[in-house]
Amino acid sequence: MFSKACEYAIRSVVFIAVSSLEETRVGFKEIAKEIDAPEAFVAKILQKLVKGGIIESIKGAGGGFEIPVQELEHIKLCEVVNVIDGDSIYKGCGLGLAQCSETHPCPVHFKFKSIRNELKQMLETTSLKELANGTKSGDTFLKI
């Protein structure tokens, strides 16, 4: 459902959020290792997340990536998805057809529409703080 870049972005921001809760900054190599992703790919994703205002990059000794703790509750998962994948997840055809609409639906259009609406609701109401707290407590995991 999400692009590979978006999956890595979500994993990255959750890891950065957990680190921010622990008052530490993390470098892109550490992030790539933690989320089991290629370093170069992660570096490009992190650049987009910085430009999109999701994460902050601090240069120099003691630098790295962070998210201000007070912002974790306000940043919703939909913002990460929008920075990386745009809004295509809310509009695209469930079967990947170029043309699919209410008047010319694909075979799964109406069933997929309700799933897409539920996904949008989940992304709009899930904060990075919620995801970070679940990971920090050990209730959820970024890798097996």
Kindly report, residue by residue over 89-132, the tens digit of the pLDDT: 888 888 989 888 899 999 999 999 999 999 999 999 999 999 99
pLDDT in tens, 45-73: 999 999 999 999 999 888 999 999 999 99
- Whether residue 23 lies inside any domain: the answer is yes
Q: Model pTM?
A: 0.92
Q: In angstroms, how far is CA 48 from the centroid of its own chain? A: 11
Provide the token pair at 16.
Answer: 């950065």
Rounded Cα distance, 87 and 73, in Å: 22
- Whether residue 143 lies inside any domain: the answer is no
Rounded Cα distance, 133 and 83, in Å: 23
Tokens 């950065």 label which residue? 16
DSSP 69: G
- Whether residue 142 lies inside any domain: the answer is no
- Whether residue 117 lies inside any domain: the answer is yes
Rounded Cα distance, 80 and 97, in Å: 25
Neighbouring residues of 46: CB distance < 8 A, sequence distance ≥ 6: 12, 28, 31, 55, 57, 65
Range in 1-5, 22-26, 106-110 the model is least confident about: 1-5
Residue 130: what residue type? E
Contact 66, 56 (CB under 8 A): yes
- Please give the tally of structural domains in the chain: 1
CATH number of the CATH domain containing 72 = 1.10.10.10
- Angle at Cα 100 formed by Cα 98 and Cα 103, nearest 5°? 145
- Whether residue 132 lies inside any domain: the answer is yes
Whether residue 1 has pLDDT greater than 80: no
Range of the domain at 80: 4-137
pLDDT of residue 17: 97
- Whether residue 144 lies inside any domain: the answer is no
Rounded Cα distance, 54 and 60, in Å: 20
DSSP H or E stretch at residue 131: helix 128-137
